[in-house]
């Protein structure tokens, strides 16, 4: 059955949803996005995603298409119309359709394009991969310098995912100037001697909404968190490794390049944080 999606004020069957060929999202990757998890038919950390969206828009001097309350209502309508229990809502805002191709931003601004759609992922908090852990490779980070803005320029992350697939693994971690930045679509962590180590926030990485929640839960559970750079060599020798994102929650990593991490099975810290995160987020979902 076809999904109902949202485009610029209308709820439509997906086959009827259209965006102009002059849309700056299509021609210039001039757009930002969010992916919000749905558990039990409710939105996980919508407030965090809305805040980051506002920040991404501000950084690109782009107009918001509507208020965040209106966006919440559109998310809820789509969840209801598509009967989503577990899954995600994808949202994209672009600088709109100026009617031609031009490097300059349209002046005055044109109406932003707003698109949302749902993806059903039944039972998605019980991913079998979380029980075995995943394997990753490291690849050079050649993305642009404002990775803190959640833009739709996802060509290199997409290439990195394909490099991982060709290597027979699930994921790729980016490395820049000898240090791990983040995963192709998630934030990266290692655990050594009980310390959870992850890169500090800057323009080099996306400020993950899951990252913020997981670090808060870790500190509340008296786990030690250290926000600093780490090298691939440190990761190879770590006791545990894991990544976080709205779609992976907390995902244990058992191999990085040729190095088996710890015992080669999901570690205690990652497993516990995954349990806490899912439990707390189910409770707080709206």
Q: Which of 71, 116, 209, 253 binds ligand PDD (CB under 6 A)?
A: 209
Q: What is the CA radius of gyration of the chain?
A: 19
Question: Crossing angle, helix 46-59 and helix 209-220, to 10 degrees?
Answer: 130
- Number of C-alpha atoms within 13 angstroms, CB side, residue 165? 6
The residue (of 43 and 98) whose beta carbon lies closer to ligand PDD is 43
> Which segment (19-27, 79-87, 180-188, 191-199) binds ligand PDD by CB under 6 A?
180-188
The residue (of 24 and 211) whose beta carbon lies closer to ligand PDD is 211
Question: Do the beta carbons of residue 261 and residue 240 sit within 8 Å?
Answer: yes
Question: Do the beta carbons of residue 132 and residue 254 sit within 8 Å?
Answer: yes
The residue (of 48 and 133) whose beta carbon lies closer to ligand PDD is 48
Bridge partners (DSSP) of residue 33 are 92
Q: Which of 146, 169, 171, 147 is nearest to 161 (CA)?
A: 171
By the rule CB under 6 A, 246 interacts with ligand PDD: yes
Q: Which of 138, 185, 198, 271 binds ligand PDD (CB under 6 A)?
A: 185
By the rule CB under 6 A, 206 interacts with ligand PDD: yes
Catalytic residue selected from 150, 161, 165, 255: 150
Q: Which of 244, 267, 273, 277 binds ligand PDD (CB under 6 A)?
A: 244
Give the 3-state secondary structure of residue 62. Answer: coil
Fill in the per-residue mask, 9 to 38: x = in contact with ligand PDD (CB under 6 A), - = not in contact.
--------------------------x---
By the rule CB under 6 A, 247 interacts with ligand PDD: yes
Give the 3-state secondary structure of residue 275. Answer: helix
SS3 content of the chain, % helix, strand, coil (to 5): 30, 30, 40
Give, in order, the Cα–Cα distances in Å from 255 to each of 27, 189, 197, 245, 264: 38, 13, 17, 19, 7
- Cβ count within 10 A of residue 55: 15
Q: Which of 245, 252, 254, 256 binds ligand PDD (CB under 6 A)?
A: 245
* Catalytic status, residue 150: yes
The residue (of 6 and 189) whose beta carbon lies closer to ligand PDD is 189
By the rule CB under 6 A, 186 interacts with ligand PDD: yes
Q: Which of 112, 188, 207, 89 is nearest to 150 (CA)?
A: 207
Question: Do the beta carbons of residue 33 and residue 150 sit within 8 Å?
Answer: yes
CA distance 71 to 245: 21
- Cβ count within 10 A of residue 2: 10
CA distance 21 to 17: 13
Shortest reach from residue 96's CB to ligand PDD, in Å: 22
> Which segment (165-173, 215-223, 238-246, 278-286) binds ligand PDD by CB under 6 A?
238-246
By the rule CB under 6 A, 210 interacts with ligand PDD: yes
By the rule CB under 6 A, 181 interacts with ligand PDD: no
The residue (of 5 and 98) whose beta carbon lies closer to ligand PDD is 5
The residue (of 53 and 254) whose beta carbon lies closer to ligand PDD is 53
Shortest reach from residue 193's CB to ligand PDD, in Å: 25
- The residues binding ligand PDD (CB under 6 A) are 35, 182, 185-187, 206, 208-211, 244-247
Q: Which residues are the active-site residues?
A: 150
């Amino acid at each position: 059955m076809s999904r109902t999606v949202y485009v610029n004020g209308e709820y439509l069957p997906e086959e009827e949803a259209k965006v102009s060929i002059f849309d700056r999202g299509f021609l210039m990757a001039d757009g930002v996005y969010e992916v919000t998890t749905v558990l039990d038919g409710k939105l996980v950390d919508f407030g965090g995603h809305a805040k980051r969206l506002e920040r991404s828009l501000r950084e690109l001097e782009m107009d918001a298409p509507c208020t965040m309350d209106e966006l919440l209502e559109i998310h809820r309508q789509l969840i209801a119309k598509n009967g989503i229990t577990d899954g995600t809502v994808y949202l994209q805002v672009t600088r709109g359709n100026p009617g031609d191709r031009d490097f300059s931003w349209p002046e005055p601004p044109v109406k932003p394009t707003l698109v949302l759609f749902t993806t059903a992922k039944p039972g998605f908090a019980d991913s079998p991969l979380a029980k075995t852990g995943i394997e990753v490779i490291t690849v050079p980070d050649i993305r642009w310098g404002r990775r803190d803005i959640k833009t739709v320029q996802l060509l290199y992350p997409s290439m990195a995912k394909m490099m991982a697939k060709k290597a027979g693994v699930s994921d790729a971690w980016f490395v820049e100037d000898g240090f791990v930045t983040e995963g192709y679509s998630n934030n990266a962590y290692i655990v050594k001697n009980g310390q959870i180590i992850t890169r500090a926030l800057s323009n080099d990485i996306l400020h993950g909404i899951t990252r913020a929640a997981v670090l808060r839960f870790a500190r509340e559970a008296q786990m030690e968190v250290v926000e600093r750079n780490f090298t691939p060599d440190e990761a190879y020798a770590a006791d545990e490794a894991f990544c976080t994102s709205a779609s992976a929650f907390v995902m244990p990593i058992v191999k990085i390049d040729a190095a088996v991490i710890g015992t080669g099975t999901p570690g205690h810290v990652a497993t516990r944080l995954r349990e806490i995160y899912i439990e707390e987020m189910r409770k707080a979902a709206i």
